[in-house]
Each structure stands twice: as C-alpha cells, then as structure tokens.
Amino acid sequence: MDAFLSKEVLNGLERARKQAQRKKNRLRLHVGDEVYPLLRLSDDGFEMDAEAAPHLRGFVDIYDGAKHLASCLIIHSEPEGNIMRYEYKRHTNVAEGPAKDFAVDDNAPVALIGR
C-alpha cells in the first residue's frame, strides 16, 4: 500500500522522532562547560544531530547521565543527512576504580576476619 504524506507531516514526524530520542537518550558530550546530547555511540565514533552539532576537534568527555564513560580525542567528519558524525583519534575508557601498581596474588584474602 502506497501512502503519500505531505512535507509538513514528514517534518513533524521527524521532529517528534528527534524529541523522543533526546528524552530517552542520556548520552552527553562535555566540552569544557558546554554539554551536547549524543544520538549514538559506536566503536569508532559518535553521532549528533546536525542542527545542534558544533564543529568540534580536540579533547572531549562522554557521559551517560552522571557516569563518566570515556575521554576522547576527536576529529570532525562530514555530515550525513541530518546527522553529524565524529571519529575518535584516541578513545580512553574511564576506569571503575583506582589503578593498581602491584600484582595481585590469586590466593590473596578478600577481607580480614575478626575474632
């Protein structure tokens, strides 16, 4: 079945899709004091809405809500339709805990047992 939708209806549907995606997506890009919403994260880069996307280069931080996910060095890519794609030059995941500067023995005790 073929359906014809006017340009106004298609634009309204696209705006509603973007708004729904922004509400459910917690991914954010922090550049200094500026914060930008991300649409999608992948192994080699991320995507932003082309209307809100600045021309970025350099170091940025990626957050999922309040959780810091990664620190990245990025380069700007070309827009693909209404999506701006950025690529990683360097991507470093943030560690969950402090770095250990010693080797942990496999049979090391987990906790101390009191008397």
Is residue 11 scored above 70 in pLDDT? Answer: yes
Query: DSSP string spanning 43-96?
Result: SSEEEEETTT-----EEEEEEETTEEEEEEEEEEEEEETTEEEEEEEEEEEPPS
Q: How confident is the model at residue 71 (pLDDT cuts 50, 70, 90)?
A: very high
Q: Which domains does the chain have, with CATH numbers?
A: 22-93 (2.40.10.430)
Among the residue ranges 12-26, 56-70, 72-86, the one predicted with the least confidence is 12-26
What confidence tens digit (pLDDT) does each residue in 26-58 have? 889 898 888 888 888 888 899 888 877 778 888
pLDDT digits (tens, 9 = 90+) for 91-114: 998 887 777 787 878 888 888 888
Cα→Cα distances 110→92, 96, 98, 102, 104, Å: 29, 18, 17, 16, 11
pTM surpassing 0.75?
Answer: no
Percentage of the chain lying above the pLDDT 90 cut: 14
